[in-house]
Chain A
């Protein structure tokens, strides 16, 4: 396959960025999208040009490190996958592909296609945990948990923290990310104890960090590589309201 690529280049966080056009040739349809960028970078180095910086690591869709807006979609045109799992067979020979970093006020661009997502860590540090120390905990089977609750908790826990939800949301809201963590723990008896406090602390931190409000457009769910449902946002809202009510 031969492709034309319009890629966002930006020297550093302070510099003004812009699109540059590149061409890659003879790419196998079985190649992954990031391997296609590897090929481009290898060519650029040989041409004496600076390779394009993009975040990636596991390349099997679980670490959450890769990002990219591809033709206007977070993680590209395919559904329920990350960019690293996208393969070139989803494109046609001769296509023009536009590649941009996440666009969100809370995720500033660091260089080219890499952004700073440390805001997500900060939200989880505000309360995305159960307050237990190592050791001194009960036997794992001491508290039976219904399979349904455990499964629903796992559905929410599948979030990989990639940032596609906030980057897709027109308001730049991180509600799906926050809801996934709150909901995952709220479905378990051991997580219920701090449920209200957790929801309040994480939402407050999200607001403080410059994420926008949720207006229930559902765009986040559509672009989530792990198919996290916006039903979790409803659960977060319930947790949040009950916390406010108790205040």
Chain B
């Protein structure tokens, strides 16, 4: 029976990581050559981990579902990456980055992990520059910074609006170098469909070749999940179309505990939904809030005129505009954290001030910044984002403000890991967005890239050695054992079952229904009632899926409908756990806003006495209720307080 031991090292917060590193075991080069590691996923976490482990001398196999490791969804991150360099001399420090992250996460993250994240952040920037990442620079040749939400310092490094792309190309280049050397073997277009556990330890995976449908087995001494988040449970999100939660879900069913599944980030600045034919939502980077001001009209008649297209935003005079973030949060203004900005947008739209036909949009306006800095400067800073906006909406944001609305973007919840990033299955690790550990109930902008690379470059390569030092006597994993037989059989049976249903609804049609249930009941505002309703409706929809889904074709071919069906089957279970977790947490914190629990000003009302814990769920079987474990969060370095972005 797995137990919940966070393995947080003893000692003062600032010394935990150094002390821990000094005391954990290492593996000699001769022994590293004998050890196999599987890495699933090639985003910032997976690519940086696979490259670093390959450099160390382990035999690494890396899997991704796309046609190249470079396509992983980290590539789409726009705005930047945080680090505590203090290059701007604005009094930034490791402690301040740590503090902002804990506070931004509404005090629901683990102090020790977050401190370590802040501590290694500076090394990430050094590493990326050495790899040739073309970060933005000042005229003097030194690195430039900008500000992101939830911080009062400028600590965000960026490469135009394509920071994720450039960081991933850096990690991918490091990975390519190892692939060329033979220390890493790459398996693109391979989907991991199960984790194999032998004698209580993760020992391999079952994969499906996406082109041929071939089901294969791979063994290893340790398995690393770097599979990203599960935001696509909502159908419409800013995630890539193929992003999914299936590996995490299989791991959960094999004994890895799932923590805080209800913690979902709804990003405030996305292009609004245009209609029911829409397949995904597009983010407009948070960096835009450095220079963009968010507003809705003060007068209802202006709202009506905008909706009827009788007025344009530029027709509304300054005194009739409600810059509601600047009004409500003078100290942080437009740069409040994402959860706060999203809720404020919802509040204005619910009150009837939404500025488009659907009533679900607010303005993000660059008029003031263009007047102050000139159009050229704005083009230099955000040119590609403005172009993207214009291509999608057919509106020129240099002349008319952007329209934006919140959308599902990131999942702070994920597979529970200890300080070493190991799950409750020994030998199974989870890094990056796939784990739960660093962002609490709300992630700050530019911190996802930081965490993915921190885990992959500087944390996992150390901590995995400690585990593998006990495996040096283990022979190559035999993939002909009964555990591999059973896992493969399970995968084949599930696929056969999906084809056998021959129902009347396509996978997308059912996925859209799930998305609707999730958005309405487990979205930006949740209640005990909505969360209960969601669980019932998802159960019903799951039945519908398993009796009425229609999956064309066969397994033995390139079959994108089958891929989607396998992933949706898991979302239909994961969604229910998210609702269950939300119902258990009788408080509001970060992205988890329970309407019943709010301050008189409408802010999230935490209940630290009863809920200062990570809710960690253990799978007990298909027909049994999952069991809740609690990891108490102890705050030694920061004082628990109501978040204040007003003064």
Contact = CB atoms under 8 A, between A and B. Distances in A.
B277 A27 contact: yes
Interface stretch (A122-130, A168-176, A208-216): A122-130
A150 B128 CA distance: 14
A144 B140 contact: yes
A190 interface: yes
A154 B134 contact: yes
Given A146-B141, A184-B132, A134 B188 contact: no
Interface in A11-57: 12, 27-28, 30-32, 34-35, 38-39, 42, 45-46, 48-51, 53, 55-57
Interface residues of B, number: 82
Interface stretch (B157-165, B527-535, B579-587): B157-165
B461 A134 contact: yes
Interface string A151-178: 1011001101100000000000000000
A124 B135 CA distance: 21
Interface in A106-163: 110-111, 114, 116-118, 120-121, 124-126, 128-135, 137-141, 143-147, 150-151, 153-154, 157-158, 160-161
B308 to A, nearest CB: 19
Contact of A34 (B127, B128, B160, B279): B279
Interface stretch (B64-72, B101-109, B475-483): B64-72
B283 interface: yes
Contact of A125 (B52, B71, B176): B176
Contacts of A58: 71, 73, 75-76, 240-241
Given A65-B71, A154-B160, A28 B142 contact: no
B193 interface: no
Interface stretch (B29-37, B436-444, B489-497, B557-565): B557-565
Given A12-B557, A63-B76, A135-B123, 14 more contacts: A38-B277, A38-B279, A45-B561, A58-B76, A61-B391, A63-B70, A63-B240, A65-B71, A135-B127, A137-B129, A140-B135, A144-B141, A145-B137, A150-B135
Given A59-B241, A63-B66, A145-B137, A53 B560 contact: yes
Contacts of B160: 154, 158
Task: Summarize A's interface: helix, strand, loop or mixed.
Answer: loop
Given A65-B66, A87-B392, A157-B169, A59 B279 contact: yes
A60 B130 contact: no
B130 A137 contact: yes
B136 A132 contact: no
A118 B388 CA distance: 28
B127 A137 contact: yes
Nearest to B507: A45
A51 B552 contact: yes
Contacts of B188: 118, 121
Interface string B151-175: 0000000011010111001001110
B611 interface: no
Given A120-B68, A134-B51, A150-B136, A62 B165 contact: yes
5 contacts: A62-B162, A64-B71, A134-B127, A137-B126, A137-B129
A104 interface: no
A58 B176 CA distance: 22
Nearest to A13: B211
Contacts of A154: 134, 136, 159-160, 166
Interface in B54-100: 55, 66-73, 75-76, 85, 87
Contacts of B66: 57, 63, 65
Contacts of B557: 12, 111
Nearest to B391: A85
B87 A141 contact: yes
Contact of B553 (A38, A50, A110): A50
A140 B143 contact: yes
For the complex of A and B, list the 3 residue pairs with the smallest distance between their C-beta atoms, beginning with the closest. Answer: A144-B141, A129-B173, A137-B130
Contacts of B19: none
B641 interface: no
A77 interface: no
A143 B126 CA distance: 11
A7 interface: no
Contact of B68 (A30, A128, A161): A161
A89 interface: yes
Interface of A: 12, 27-28, 30-32, 34-35, 38-39, 42, 45-46, 48-51, 53, 55-65, 78, 80-81, 85, 87, 89, 110-111, 114, 116-118, 120-121, 124-126, 128-135, 137-141, 143-147, 150-151, 153-154, 157-158, 160-161, 184-185, 187-188, 190-191
Contact of B132 (A80, A126, A188): A188
A93 B72 CA distance: 35
B134 A184 contact: yes
A147 B138 contact: yes
B400 interface: no
B500 interface: no
A125 B127 contact: no
B134 A157 contact: yes
A16 B179 CA distance: 34
A57 B73 contact: yes
B180 interface: yes
A59 B165 contact: no
A233 B162 CA distance: 23
B629 interface: no
B277 A126 contact: no
Interface in B575-594: none
Contacts of B394: 87, 89
Given A125-B180, A139-B126, A65 B67 contact: yes
B473 interface: no
Contacts of B172: 124
A56 B134 CA distance: 27
A178 to B, nearest CB: 14
Interface string B241-278: 11000000000000000000000000000000011011
A59 B280 CA distance: 7
A226 to B, nearest CB: 9
Nearest to A46: B506
Interface in B198-227: 211
Nearest to A145: B141
Contacts of A27: 277
B557 to A, nearest CB: 7
A151 B379 CA distance: 14
Contacts of B48: 134
Contacts of A81: 391
B458 interface: yes
A62 B277 contact: no
Contact of B131 (A61, A64, A130): A130
A57 B71 contact: yes
Contacts of B173: 124, 128-130
B508 interface: yes
A139 B508 CA distance: 48
A198 B159 CA distance: 23
Contact of B166 (A34, A53, A138, A157): A157
A150 B67 contact: no
Contact of A185 (B126, B132, B241, B561): B132
Contacts of A53: 558, 560
A199 to B, nearest CB: 14
